[in-house]
Amino acid sequence: MKRIQTIFFALAVLLTACDKFGQDGLLTEFPAVVMDFAVKSALDPDTGGFSWQDGDLVRVFNGDNDAVFKYDADRDLFVVSEGALAKTGSYQAGYPADLFSFQDGVCTLSLPDTQAASKVVDRMPLYLWKVRDGVFKFKSICGLAKLQLVGSGLALYEAPLTKVTFTSTGGFASGSGTVGKDGVFTIASGEKTMTVDCPDGMTAGSPVFLTLPSQKYPMGSKVSFFFADGKVVESVTVMGIVPRPDMIKSYELEITADFFGPLEDFEDGGSIDDKF
């Protein structure tokens, strides 16, 4: 992970440009970056930047065939690991490779309905925007929402946070669809609930990052926090969530001890006012 780019997360568009890497007419390796944006936050809240992880896989399509390239952190390059790809100068590409497919020039992204919570947001879908001087440049089309419970009521939740769900009353929160040449991800079919599974150690006040298709989700969409002791905190949005691909959108949901009262009053789940 030698190169760190300040950004948010990523996906992109069809490009026509020439590359300088490869031999015998084949594309064998290339450097890649994520294009910068003027954002307040980044994929890693601590470092303020995006970095490729060793072993990251990108799928590249040249108009006829596709191949998979693996990131080599020591060389700071993506190197071909599966398939063979003729150099054409015109490519489409997506990260992570297993979420993307290409057929007859059509790019399909399959966004799973379950994500794993992590301090550093990984596997954020990226799509190729352009190639310049042999460098593959990616950018985002998905949005990232940061969800966090705040307030004096946090003291009432001592059990670990196990998962967070977002349920849309409108568009799909996950599923399969096409990525257009303008970088827009349009879901044709899918699920309206996205789940983030939380690892051990996450508490009621831990921030949770949620990758969503970039669109407006209507009023009434719901965020739910689930705890190991069976308690659930739910929040119904009063304004639609609109995660943009060029920034992290933060939502703080405030809970107070006065609002909830004794624990036994809401062991089966409670509702809270939020700040959407």
Model confidence pLDDT, tens digit, residues 215-228: 888 777 888 999 99
Q: What is the mean pLDDT of residues 80-105?
A: 91
At 128-164, the pLDDT tens digits run 988 888 899 888 888 878 888 888 888 888 999 999 9
Q: Using pLDDT thresholds of 50, 70 and 90, give the confidence band for residue 6.
A: very low
From 76-85, 104-113, 145-154, 263-272, the region with the lowest mean pLDDT: 263-272
Retrieve residue 183's tokens: 């970088």
Q: What is the mean pLDDT of residues 233-258?
A: 69
Range of 78-82, 154-158, 232-236 with top mean pLDDT: 78-82
Of 87, 77, 142, the C-alpha closest to 115 is: 142
Q: What is the pLDDT of residue 171?
A: 87
Q: What is the pLDDT of residues 22-44, one digit of tens each?
A: 567 899 999 988 775 433 334 55
Cα 109-11-30 angle, rounded to 5 deg: 105
Q: Give the per-residue pLDDT at 222.
A: 86
pLDDT (0 to 100) of residue 47: 53
Instruction: Report pLDDT digits (tens) over 172-226.
Output: 999 999 998 778 888 889 999 999 999 888 898 888 888 888 888 877 788 899 9
- For residues 271 and 235, the answer to whether their CB atoms sit within 8 Å is yes
The reported pLDDT for the residue numbered 98 is: 94
Q: What is the pLDDT of residue 63?
A: 87
The predicted structure's pLDDT at residue 82: 94
pLDDT over 70 (residue 247): no
Q: Is 137 or 68 the better-scoring residue by pLDDT?
A: 68
> What is the average per-residue pLDDT within 45-50?
56
Residue (of 111, 72, 67, 71) closest to 93 by Cα position: 67
Least Cα distance to 164 among 147, 150, 182 occurs for: 147
Residue bearing the bigger pLDDT, 272 or 54: 54
| Domains of the chain in sequence order | 4-141 (no CATH), 143-272 (2.60.40)
pLDDT score at 60: 95
Res. 108: pLDDT tops 90: yes
Nearest Cα to Cα of residue 80 among 62, 99, 59, 110: 59
Question: What's the N-to-C CA distance of the chain in angstroms?
Answer: 36
User: Is this model's pTM higher than 0.85 or not?
Assistant: no
Residue 239, pLDDT > 90, answer no
